[in-house]
Structure 1
């Protein structure tokens, strides 16, 4: 009953929030209704991080002594109270080779959106299980992924004396070793969902793997690899260059092309795992595979779909459910406001019930993130059209039938999204021109509620 109560409370709260922020005129296109910013140098306590990521960029000095960045947001879920959210950091500083001291965490936040009615436009920490305000991003604001029971089938950073097993490197932090905390050299988590039982599932790029934890971030079982159902290249599994134990040169997936999208159906029992890039042997290099996974059986069903990138598109950033057959996908290229390549950043709606002869799902453009109406100039740039030109935009959540939450990954400590400066993390509330069909399932998506803990 607790899960049902959680769904009802979240759906009601999201509906009320959507009504409170209503105001975009029908037919005017998607409209920015709320805007909030988390500064690039938003930090939390923890082991020293960034020791292998250079000296920093754009004034962000590394290493961060006794601190961890609250950045690189690559997934979002509804939070413990209405108006709060849980956001997931990715592997840390961008690669397996520089992120062994970056912890994998999920933080709870409350954006105070700037709207036409006011608001500070800031993002504040809240307690992870109760949603209450906090003074800073401390232990109460987060969960940290960990494997104390040795469930994962490969050696972790925590198993080494020195980082990367190099004696000249610093000693692995005692907290990482004692609790077997997971780091960005163990997994590159890029997606997160909560199932009907309250457990968390993370999509990883290094395998690519699915990783199951409980609600506190403790790993519950061995990582789950992706079978190569397409048969492309003959490999039995889909394997990236970072796959544990891989024979060099035998990978059939490019670097950083693992699971970037991970959607869950409204019933909370089926995952749809979307690769960020195509398989290397695939002759159609605009084809990204979506693989269906049964949570009850904890295995892939063998049912696959294909997502076709647009001519300008190179990668996807996230995938989330609208109903039991329609899903939203963020698609992008690497362009920004400071590159010669023109930014391409859009949200498409796909329909798993409408598949063509080649297996491609039907796509419909929903939002052009480079062309959003901003009649009240909520970001303060002096214009009435809002653009979102960051390299990676990796978070989308349906708040109600007319409202989306969208967040960028700022690739800390980097920059260059809006200007040749450090990138902040921006939280957008976007009102859609037309309603989404939210009637095909019992709820928006599986989310936490304070009631789950009583």
Structure 2
């Protein structure tokens, strides 16, 4: 879940026209071969040995920052509402139990099963101390359009491997929460799970049961990279120089793994901060993101990194997974939501979208064709706002032969087989409403046939 940034919103035909997109790149077709969703109102009980405070969630999400214990006492409103014109999502919190929603990272396990990661909670470190960190094994039946949760794994730190104070510090199991880490990507390697985190940013290693084995600080180009939420970064007592390199909520969003499992490639969501310019770092006017290299055998950053250039300044990435040893898939998106056909005409109103989704793409990148400055090649892309549906398989949306993914955050992409990929959204429960007015988005997944994209050079 990301905070709102008013970028490229003022009466623009397209974000690209507003912000200066890159040279035209090759677009490839994407055809819908399956559409499934998990209802937004999907919850799981906290483990029996979890503290009482984790039996309910969302108690600290009121605008006043005051605690609210009454179940359903805080009305859900999309974070992209126009000022003074709230667009309600139809779901209120706090919740009984923990929301399954907010998938931010996926890994195909084969046989229709997928490992997915629940986002850190409700959008920030401050409002998520009662949101448990967890991942799930899902079974998707494309024929039925159903999503079945087979298993849930809760992250915990009973051996005190986390080097800072956590929310459940005084408990035995020490379950981790969204006030401790913001895990956004997951990779299973051997008998371990590796997570990319935004708060540090860190790489976190656990066993298959979710028990933390180690936490690794980020080093890129021989220098430490920290965000304002890093445990060692504090609020200064007086104005002074910048004390962090990665902006809040701009740590590791995607993290790919090499096919042999020996190397991880954590990718920052936003450009590092350039203190001299007092702005995000750019190349020829364009913001770029860093892809680091992490060696699994030594559990350390190698110092090697690459650069991913954004099409439009202010864009974000949603996920990153490899296709083979040198190519991968990255979601690049704008910070907008809403079906374009339901845009407000004139002044914003609660019964229309005041801003609509425009730029939602999956790019294929190639490390082997990186240039002299370390920029990976963008081979081509598919447009998630223009997915073909000749078989009329769409289960939500207009279902007129084309399916859009008009969501604020789209944070799941992976290869399924030689011709197909899976893409899923993060529905930011209860703060996102991009598909239907007055209704929080469900967790949607699409199975896309994209042989041309996967074969492109």
Q: TM-score scaled to structure 2, two decimals?
A: 0.77
**In 2, are the aligned partners of 1:322 and 1:437 still within 8 Å (CA)?**
no
> Aligned equivalents of 1:110 and 1:121: distance in 2?
11
Q: How many residue pairs are counted as aligned between the two chains? A: 368
**In 2, are the aligned partners of 1:313 and 1:332 still within 8 Å (CA)?**
no
Give the aligned partner of residue 297 of structure 1. 298
Q: CA shift at 1:28, angstroms?
A: 8.6
> Aligned equivalents of 1:283 and 1:125: distance in 2?
41
> Aligned equivalents of 1:44 and 1:320: distance in 2?
27
Give the aligned partner of residue 125 of structure 1. 149
Say if 2:121 is the partner of 1:87.
Answer: no
Residue 434 of structure 1 aligns to a residue in which SS?
A: helix
Say if 2:425 is the partner of 1:408.
Answer: yes
Q: CA shift at 1:335, angstroms?
A: 1.5
Q: TM-score scaled to structure 1, two decimals?
A: 0.78
**In 2, are the aligned partners of 1:346 and 1:365 still within 8 Å (CA)?**
no
Residue in structure 2 matching 1:75, options 83, 102, 105: 105
* Unmatched tracts of structure 1, length 5 or more: 1-26, 114-118, 127-140, 161-176, 231-235, 439-454
**In 2, are the aligned partners of 1:146 and 1:218 still within 8 Å (CA)?**
yes
> Aligned equivalents of 2:454 and 2:94: distance in 1?
45
Give the aligned partner of residue 281 of structure 2. 283
Residue in structure 1 matching 2:165, options 132, 147, 155: 155
After superposing the two structures, state which structure 1 stretch, 145-154 or 426-435, moved more.
426-435
Say if 2:247 is the partner of 1:254.
Answer: yes
Q: CA shift at 1:375, angstroms?
A: 1.0
**In 1, are the aligned partners of 2:409 and 2:425 still within 8 Å (CA)?**
yes
State the Cα deviation string for residues 258-300 of structure 1 (Å, max 9, x = none): 0001000000010001000001115305110001111011111
* Unmatched tracts of structure 2, length 5 or more: 1-26, 47-54, 63-73, 77-88, 236-241, 275-279, 339-352
- Calculate the aligned-residue CA RMSD, in Å: 1.9
Q: Which has the higher helix share?
A: 1
Give the aligned partner of residue 347 of structure 1. 362
Spell out the pairing of 1:278-427 with structure 2 (5 A cutoff). 278-281=271-274, 282-284=280-282, 286-311=287-312, 314-337=315-338, 338-340=353-355, 342-380=357-395, 381-420=398-437, 421-427=439-445
Say if 2:44 is the partner of 1:44.
Answer: yes
> Aligned equivalents of 1:269 and 1:339: distance in 2?
46
Residue 104 of structure 2 aligns to a residue in which SS?
A: strand
**In 2, are the aligned partners of 1:35 and 1:427 still within 8 Å (CA)?**
yes
Residue in structure 1 matching 2:212, options 212, 219, 238: 219
> Aligned equivalents of 1:103 and 1:369: distance in 2?
30
**In 2, are the aligned partners of 1:401 and 1:435 still within 8 Å (CA)?**
no
Q: CA shift at 1:62, angstroms?
A: 1.2
**In 2, are the aligned partners of 1:348 and 1:363 still within 8 Å (CA)?**
yes
Say if 2:137 is the partner of 1:108.
Answer: yes
> Aligned equivalents of 1:217 and 1:33: distance in 2?
33
